[in-house]
Chain A
Amino acid sequence: MSESSALYQPKPLPIRARPMWFRAKTFLAGFVGGMAVLSALGYWMGRHNWHPGYTRLIPAISPETFYYPTVAEMSAIVRARCRPGQVLVIIGGNSILYGSGQPYAELWSRHLQHLLGDRFCVVNLAFRGGGATDGAAVVAEVLRKEFPHQILVANIGTVQPVSPIGTAPFRFMFWEAYYKGELEDYGPRNTFVKQYFDARKDRLADWFETAGRVWLDRALHFRDFWNWVAMRWFFTIPDKYYPSFRGQFQARCKFKDDEINFEDIPFDQRFPPNTIALETEITKGFTQSHYERAADGGWKMRPDMRRQIKSFIDAAMPAPLRRRTLIIVSKNSPLYVEHLSPADRQRDAQSYGDTIALYRASDYHAMTYPDDITKDDYGDRAHLTLTGGRKLADAVAPHIRAIAEELGYLPPVHP
């Protein structure tokens, strides 16, 4: 043995065991118990309304700011507002029916409620940027047995179909209801679901991620629990919509519905001259690719476009649900339509009747704006002012009453 090795004998390092206070079984009990309590809380919260001051899906409680309301959460909003026996009128669609540019006090759907009276209960569940089969449509279908007397009101642009599985930013609600088995088992829509995953590169991984996420939430109810925390206590995800530190992390219940009023903006400032050309092109683009010249020099919808729209709208929901759906075909501001060429203007005007006919042929109810909505009733190309909203409500109310009578929601009126 060398002299150096005799002098230096490294001591064996002590094996760092778990902390001396750690008890594995107790830790596991705490973990399992904690998950059980959180899941139970999430389940319980999903059945209660934690939006007592609900007006509509303002940005603070929408995916625009990382808040993804659950189907249970939105269903609870409906239950809190509507009594059994009332005809439930759910407003869906996009920012037009959401009422962008209309302060809540004079929101068009509130005027609609006033016109319809207490026999009806109007709940605005439209998302800014949403589609006719997003959010509100999913909630309406989920509540179809609890509120059998219901009418869904949603809007589309002219010659636009409705997606059977919702639109990308809001499809999370469709997946949630679909994989929880809360929607009607409807073959044509199931086919769309299958095609959706077949078209994806990693279809098995995508399906597992989509369905697996829903199934995990079904067991652990984490979305309902953490949405409740976000709504009531603090938010945990910073985003650019609210630039201040306080805005990013404060409880979402502290945000108010402070929608601007288009009518506070002078007309000329709503429609700056430098935007007219672009907005006119957008208006033209709604129908440009859907039509071809007819033999008589007029316009006819392209057969392939007609077939595509019909296949989508037939698959979007089962026939009984289509019969209780009112589709409003939204119009662009006449200010831009006036800038179209005579031929484009003719096509644009024709498209509304064609779209309404297509939807009615598939058992939807359908309408478009009344003729008394003028360019003064718009805040921009698409959205209506307070005055325009009132006119829309005036036109929608009779349709809703007619649907309610047709479907037997209302007791017969004896002469």
Chain B
Amino acid sequence: MKSRVASVVSRLPGPLATAACHALSLGAGLIAALILHYVCYRIGLPGKPFIYVAF
């Protein structure tokens, strides 16, 4: 069963469909990079702010 994105892409003319596939894939890669970059930032932070930590 095709997704909505796949349905839209499959209705495009050949070269345009190819370009759209590459654009979507590139966009997905960029989003994945953004998410991983942010995850790296978040895992480096402590779970609680320091005012809640006894020292």
Contact of A34 among B2, B20, B32, B42 (CB under 8 A): B32
Contact of A38 among B6, B34, B42 (CB under 8 A): B34
**Count of chain A residues with a beta carbon within 8 Å of a chain B beta carbon:** 40
Segment with Cβ contacts to B, from A117-125, A178-186, A217-225, A291-299: A217-225
* B interface SS class: helix
Which residues of B1-33 have CB atoms within 8 Å of chain A's CB atoms?
2-3, 5-6, 9-10, 20-22, 24-33
| Chain B residue with Cβ nearest A21 | B21
Q: Tell me, rounded to whole Å, the shortest Cβ–Cβ distance linking A103 to chain B.
A: 22
Q: What sequence of 0s and 1s flags, for each residue 167-205 of chain A, a beta carbon within 8 Å of any chain B beta carbon? A: 111100000000000000000000000000000000000
Contact of A28 among B2, B9, B20, B29 (CB under 8 A): B29
Q: What is the bound-complex CA distance between A335 and B21, given in angstroms?
A: 75
Segment with Cβ contacts to B, from A58-66, A86-94, A246-254: A58-66
Contacts of A35 in B (CB 8 A): 33, 36-37
Q: What is the bound-complex CA distance between A237 and B10, given in angstroms?
A: 40
A19-B5, A20-B2, A33-B29 known; A226 vs B50 contact (CB < 8 Å) = no
**Count of chain B residues with a beta carbon within 8 Å of a chain A beta carbon:** 33
Instruction: Tell me the B residues contacting A by CB distance below 8 Å.
Output: 2-3, 5-6, 9-10, 20-22, 24-34, 36-38, 40-42, 44-45, 49-51, 53, 55
Contacts of A66 in B (CB 8 A): 45, 49
Q: What is the bound-complex CA distance between A222 and B34, given in angstroms?
A: 10
A105 within 8 Å of B (CB atoms): no
Q: Are A31 and B29 in contact (CB under 8 A)?
A: yes
Contacts of B24 in A (CB 8 A): 21-22
